[in-house]
Amino acid sequence: MPILSAKARVAGVVGWPVAHSRSPLLHNFWLTRHGIDGAYLAFPVEPGKLALAVDGLAAAGLRGLNVTIPYKEEVFGLCNEITDFARRVGAVNTLRFEHGKILGDNTDGFGFIANLRSFGVDPTMGPAMVLGAGGAARAVVAALRDEGVSVTVVNRTYARAEALAAEFPGAKVAPWDQATEALADYALLVNTSSAGMHGQPPLAFSLNRATPMLAVADVVYVPRETLLLREAVAKGLRVVPGLGMLLHQARRGFASWFGVEPSVDQELIDYVAGDIPRFEDKPIERSSS
Ligand SMILES: NC(=O)c1ccc[n+]([C@@H]2O[C@H](COP(=O)([O-])OP(=O)(O)OC[C@H]3O[C@@H](n4cnc5c(N)ncnc54)[C@H](OP(=O)(O)O)[C@@H]3O)[C@@H](O)[C@H]2O)c1
């Protein structure tokens, strides 16, 4: 890390808990690479103290913050301005403190699309099926619809898929138990559910009906190679792991706080990946749902 002067630019991440966050690792990697007089820190903010912490950190001269679980919705009320994308997604993950104002953005959609493109996958190549209807799904559906992609939302709990699709004009919905059969009609499959994540059951979703043209993306990045991605690789399909989404979404915050456009390259991927297991070490029974 570069030596810090009294002019050092400071940013960070607020969450509870926050010790799991990989954001300090990657932002400090970029700060070192670019020799910037700056630092990025993790701030564990207890429930009930978000407003106090954000206002205090802004008053102390920080450039901005990332916001992680459980505060991505609560932080809305603290922002003076919110980007249209963050408003549609219903979550803010990046704050910029500027001229006494707090500006809120959501960079997950940008990160998702940039990650696809970095793997040579053009999101506009055909219809997309999005599995899941939580926070990650909202960003992915919004980003794909902004690209003009035809999107079908599929979720274990059908009513949540319907509710999500209703909020994004043009998005369709399909029942979970019919989705695998319909896969041949899609160019892109995106898992945004938490199934396959460390400590969760693997995703119960067959790729048997996929055509060779299907690209499979997973937003889960712990482990780096989910069972879904391994099955896709075994079938010779193109895959897009979730770690790159995390790295690309961070570019926008870093550029606005530290004034340098950072890049995502193999050295950064290897550095952050070193902190994340490649496979799930203790396989859990495949979910029956
Ligand atoms: N790569 C990145 O930068 C990035 C960014 C954001 C999130 N993520 C990852 O995305 C994942 C989801 O996060 P989130 O915030 O969207 O979570 P969330 O809001 O809690 O939503 C979880 C979703 O997963 C579904 N689900 C959970 N267990 C399932 C199972 N066994 N089978 C099928 N569906 C299941 C839920 O379905 P029900 O509605 O039926 O409960 C729900 O739709 C996490 O692993 C997170 O780390 C990655």
Cis ω before 241 (30° cut-off from 0): no
What is the Cβ-side half-sphere exposure of residue 98, based on CA atoms within 13 angstroms?
11
Nearest CA to ligand 1 atom 4: 219
Q: What distance separates the 2 farthest-apart alpha carbons in the chain?
A: 61
CB within 6 Å of ligand 1 — which residues? 108, 111, 132-137, 155-157, 160, 192-195, 197, 200-201, 219-221, 242, 245-246, 249, 287, 289
User: Chain-centre distance of CA 5, in angstroms?
Assistant: 32
pLDDT tens digit sequence for 214-264 = 999 999 999 999 999 999 999 999 999 999 999 999 999 999 999 999 999
Cα 140 to ligand 1 centroid, rounded to whole Å: 12
Nearest CA to ligand 1 atom 9: 220
pTM here?
Answer: 0.96
Instruction: Tell me the one-letter amino acid at 13.
Output: V
Tokens of 149: 């992609």
Could you give the domains of the chain? 9-106 (3.40.50.10860), 109-243 (3.40.50.720)
pLDDT tens digit sequence for 163-188 = 999 999 999 999 999 999 999 999 99
Cα 80 to ligand 1 centroid, rounded to whole Å: 29
DSSP string across 144-184:
HHHTT--EEEE-SSHHHHHHHHHHSTT-EE--HHHHHHHGG
